[in-house]
Structures are given as C-alpha cells and as structure tokens.
Amino acid sequence: MFAVSQIIARNLHRKEACNQALWINPEKDDCWREVESICPSLKLLSQDYGVTDYLKRSSAEIEFSAFPEAGDTKNQWIILNLPRQKALLEMMLECAASLLAEDGLLWLAGENKAGIKSADRRLKKYFGRVRKLDSARHCTLFEASEPLAGQTFDPASYREEWLLDCQPTPIRVASYPGVFAHGRVDAGTALLLDVLTDMPIEGEVLDFACGAGLIGTCIAAGHEHARVTLLDTSALALKAVEDTLASNRLEGFVLASDGLSELSGSFDLIVSNPPIHAGVKTDSRLSMRLLDSVHDHLNPGGRLLMVANVHLPYENWLSQRFKHFSELATNNNYKVLLANK
Ligand SMILES: C[S@@+](CC[C@H](N)C(=O)[O-])C[C@H]1O[C@@H](n2cnc3c(N)ncnc32)[C@H](O)[C@@H]1O
C-alpha cells in the first residue's frame, strides 16, 4: 500500500459508518476496500486514466472524470489525496467543500515532500475547522469540517483561455489548474511547433500526451486534410482539450488512455512532447515505456515527431525501433527528433 493510503488506513478506526462518501484520487492499491468496509456506498473518482483502469481491474467501481458531479445529497465524508500543484489543490478544495454536508468531514492526505504540511492554510479558506489528525511515514492527514456556507463550485471560473500564435493559424487554448503548462506554452512544445510550421501534414495524426491539446489543435487548425486524435491520461487535460477544440470550432477525437493502451488504428504522424516525470524525478524511461509500441501504430512511411530534453538519451531507443531518425532542431534545452517508419 502507498504511504498516503497507509496513513488513511491507520486512522479509519476514528470513523463511524456513514451513508455517503467520496474519495477523490485514491492511489493504485487496495486501500479503497478498507474505506468501503466502513462506508459501503463509497464512490471513487480518479482524474487519472491509468489509476482508474488499474482500480477497475481490481473490481473497484470508479469514475474517471475531471470533477465529481454534485448529487442530490451531499457527502458525509470526502477523502482527497493531495495533488502536487497548489492551484489544483485550491480548485479541488473548493470543489470538495461544495460537495460536503454541513456536518460532514473532509480528510486531506499527502506526502510531506508534496507540500501537505502547509495545506492547512489553504483548508482554512474553505472550512471553519481544520485539525491535523496524524503524521507518519513521511505523510500527514488533515481533517476539515464546517464547509463555509454559500460555496458553489464552477469549474469554468478556474479555466484560463489564451491565444497561441502558432503557424499557419493561431488558436485559442483553454486549460485548467493541474494541466501541463497551465496558461502558457512550454518551451519544448514551442520548439516543436516551430518545426511543424514548415511540415506538410495530412491524414491521421495522433497528439500523444496532448495536455491542453496545443499541438493537435494547431495541426487541425492549419491543415485541413489532417484528422487529429488527442490522447492523454489526465481527465483535466481532456476537459481542456474539448474546450480548446470547441473554442476554435474544430473537431478531433479525444481519447483517454494510459500510454497507448486504449489506442487502436494507425497514424501517418504521431507527434508528442511526452511525459518524463515519474513523481518528482525526471526519467525518459517513462516515455520510452509509454511509447514502446509506437511503431505498431504508424502507417508505412509514417513519422514520429517528438521533442525531448537535450540530455535525455532517446537516440538509442529510436535506433532500436526505426531505420531512420534525425534531429530537426535543437537549442540549449530541447531537441526535436523525427523518426520514419
Ligand atoms: C510534457 S506534457 C505535454 C503536454 C502537451 N502536449 C504540451 O505540449 O503542452 C506530458 C503530458 O503527458 C500526460 N501523461 C502523463 N502520463 C501519461 C500516460 N501514462 N499516458 C498518457 N499521457 C500521460 C500528462 O497528463 C501531460 O499532459
């Protein structure tokens, strides 16, 4: 069991049976079974497709969604696993407060290195009472109650919309806290977009690990013969993608997938600024693992175009899978690599 789940599990003796409970973003382990034994109507929600898929396989009923739905009755107990980004924590606390019954309890659990120790200040913005329940295994568990009256939660109030001057057609980008490079373009993505400016693009295109959908939407906006699929594991990213496409009156196929697990069909171009963070560590093996079967999803003559940190060793990995690859652009921090099937 993950340490965060362990600190929740060792405090369950404090809880009485309850009718309605919600756990937002449980870990990939079995702790939900222990919580469910106290509250049989426990609802699970994850913003991560990989976690959702894992827990479904272990027979949990879990919803994959950017935000929990407000039901007819409020929850007596909500557990929230601490997200790493502060802006996302703010948003999820406001969301949780709006879903909690007046006499309900919120548990917020997280690792000390993810910043849980200072979370009580944020909790006090949304709850009248906040106390530390436990601290162990480099984790802390807070309990909050008395959600401040009159709180309504509107995800749209957290959405940022901005103009991305990509070529040949600028687009509007929508994003939410927790989405990669929220409200701006990442420097690696910008280098990739520069390279795309001069490329002829048509046919089936996959934006792998699309975030708010900048790359795929730029392609859809500027290349009328391109059909774009945008894939990510984050429900918040996919919500942003849907808003981004709608803002530009463009269509695309939006797919939730952990790596390429849910992908069928093959593509003429797969383009990506792939994830390289496993927790806090930078590790190119994550994207190599996620993209392991990328070759199988390319049509004959198809291309893989990716941007990577200059010091990450993708070249060996590419040479084992592709006959040809080349570096199309580089600067002090990033390189853009093109591989042909
Ligand atoms: C470096 S960001 C790139 C986002 C976007 N393409 C851009 O350039 O702004 C990597 C993205 O990978 C997604 N991601 C992380 N793990 C993933 C996985 N297992 N499967 C699919 N996507 C994943 C993250 O949610 C994030 O949106």
pLDDT digits (tens, 9 = 90+) for 63-115: 999 999 988 889 999 999 999 999 999 999 999 999 999 999 999 999 999 99
Centre of ligand 1 to C-alpha 274, Å, is 6
Q: Residue 284: which H helix or E strand, with range?
A: helix 284-290
Tell me, what's the pLDDT at 198?
A: 84
Q: Return d(Cα 66, Cα 231) in angstroms, integer.
A: 15
In this predicted structure, the answer to whether residue 279 has a pLDDT above a threshold of 60 is no
Q: How far is the CA of 263 from the centre of ligand 1 (A)?
A: 15
- With a 6 Å cutoff on the Cβ, whether 259 touches ligand 1 is yes
Are the C-beta atoms of residues 23 and 32 closer than 8 Å to each other?
Answer: yes
pLDDT at residue number 151 = 72
| CA pair distance 110, 129, nearest whole angstrom | 19
pTM: 0.96
On the question of pLDDT at 241 being above 80, the answer is: yes
Q: What is the mean pLDDT of residues 128-140?
A: 97
What is the rounded distance in angstroms from the CA atom of residue 12 to the CA atom of residue 132?
15
Predicted confidence (pLDDT) at residue 167 exceeds the cutoff of 80: yes
Q: Report the phi/psi class of residue 251: left, alpha or beta, with left for phi > 0 and alpha for psi in -120 to 50.
A: beta
Strand partners, 174: 161
- HSE-CB at 243 with a 13 A cutoff on CA atoms is 22
* Residue nearest (by alpha carbon) to ligand 1 atom 25: 234
Crossing angle of helices 214-222 and 235-247, in 10° steps, is: 20
Question: What are the tens digits of pLDDT across the range 211-233?
Answer: 999 999 999 999 999 999 999 99
Identify the structural domains of the chain with CATH numbers, from first to last. 3-152 (3.40.50.150), 159-340 (3.40.50.150)
Q: What is the pLDDT of residue 284?
A: 72
Cα–Cα dist 80/71, whole Å: 18
Q: How confident is the model at residue 278 (pLDDT cuts 50, 70, 90)?
A: low
Alpha helices in 169-265 (DSSP H): 187-197, 214-222, 235-247
Q: Give the span between the Cα atoms of 219 and 217, in whole angstroms.
A: 5
Residue nearest to atom 7 of ligand 1 (CA): 211
Pairing between strand 139-147 and 100-111? antiparallel
- CA of 286 from ligand 1 middle (Å) equals 11
- Interval 246-269 mean pLDDT: 97
Q: Is residue 282 over pLDDT 70? A: no
Closest CA to 141 of 216, 264, 35, 299: 35
- pLDDT at 286 (0 to 100): 77
Cis omega (within 30 of 0) for bond into 26: no
Q: Whose CA is nearest to atom 11 of ligand 1?
A: 209
**Run of H or E including 339:** strand 334-340
Nearest to 37 by CA among 9, 63, 57: 9
Residue having the nearest C-alpha atom to atom 4 of ligand 1: 211
Instruction: Tell me what percent of the residues of the chain surpass a pLDDT of 70.
Output: 98
Task: Quote the pLDDT of residue 305.
Answer: 97
- For the Cβ of 270 lying below 6 angstroms from any atom of ligand 1, the answer is no
- In this structure, the number of other CB atoms found within 10 A of the CB of residue 305 comes to 20
- Which of 46-50, 133-137, 151-155 shows the lowest per-residue confidence on average (mean pLDDT)? 151-155
d(CA 272, CA 6): 36
Mapping DSSP to helix (H, G, I), strand (E, B) and coil, where does residue 302 land?
strand
For the cut 80, the answer to whether the pLDDT of residue 205 exceeds it is: yes
Compute the radius of gyration of the chain from its Cα atoms. 21
Pocket test for ligand 1, best of 171, 234, 305, 309 (most atoms within 8 A of CB): 234
